Amino acid sequence: MSINKIPSNAQSAGYERPLFERDTDAYKAKGKLSEPTICPQCGAVYHAGRWQWGEVSASADRKTCPACHRINDNFPAGFVTLDGPFFKDHVQEIISLINNHEQHERAEHPLKRIIYIERQGDAILVTTTDTHLARGIGEAVRHAYQGDLKVDHVSGESSVRVHWHR
């Protein structure tokens, strides 16, 4: 048997997935939270098996949501780098596009947030609490302004690195 292949009957044969194939995101809940639960920092509510925006009673359990946890730890799931001569000439409008994209995503998905936008010379680095938001930002910028987009999922980690250049 190859080390990278698990037989189709692995579960019934008592095999466990190798450590490098397990989900290693320490920010994902290890089990179901009691419902409703509210994040005391951002006000997101865990209800019907997911985090969402809504109202809850004062007696709801309190637990920091995964997005606030990542922000508190400054441990991003997504890294988006944008650079190039075109970018340098259009930086403010591209940052506006990025902020609008994040606001749209966050309205439906409270765990999709920008942690920070940092200038690095003629480039910027955008860090996010969610891998899908990072990829979505890259795709939104490419859709609006064309350019080259590269997306790298880091093997064995729950993170993504996105690079847009034009």
User: Domain range for residue 113?
Assistant: 74-165
pLDDT in tens, 95-145: 999 999 999 999 999 999 999 999 999 999 999 999 999 999 999 999 999
| Cis peptide bond N-terminal to 36, omega within 30 | yes
Percent of the chain with pLDDT over 70: 83
Distance CA 33, CA 46 (A): 7
Distance CA 138, CA 73 (A): 24
Q: Could you tell me the pTM of the whole model? A: 0.82
- From the list 90, 158, 100, the residue with the least C-alpha distance to 124 is 90
Pair (102, 157) in one structural domain = yes
pLDDT (0 to 100) of residue 24:
60
Pair (106, 157) in one structural domain = yes
Pair (142, 107) in one structural domain = yes
